[in-house]
Amino acid sequence: MNFIMRIIVTSIVAFGLSYLLSGVHIDTFWTAIVLAIVLAILNAIVKPVLIFLTLPITLVTLGLFLLVINAGIILLAAKVVNGFKVDGFWWALLFGLLLSIVTSVMYREDREERES
């Protein structure tokens, strides 16, 4: 149940960000749900492999290269999901950064409610 709630929250945030960012386009809310599922799969499978392969450059840049990996995951999701389009690397970087920040704030509030 927690996974389904995370997918719904991520899709709502992604759909909202597509309205705010002119370089990110999501056709329908169903596309946003598919995008959230694809991002969850890519973050679970592809992202750890990329982090391991780029560990030296990640250490040299003090972790900032993880933002590049995150943007790459967004661009890869744009290739996989029909109806989701990102106009370039910088839009993917901004979208990924904002998506991470907003969803982590929302999950933190949910976690605090469960602990009290």
Query: Can you tell me whether residue 5 is helix, strand or coil?
Result: helix
34: how many CB neighbours lie within 10 A of its CB? Answer: 20
Global pTM exceeds 0.95: no
Question: What digits encode the pLDDT tens for the residues 7-58?
Answer: 999 999 999 999 999 999 999 999 999 999 999 999 999 999 999 999 999 9
CB 35 within 8 A of CB 81: yes
Domain-wise residue ranges, the chain = 2-105
Which of 54, 62, 57 shows the shortest CA–CA distance to 73? Answer: 54
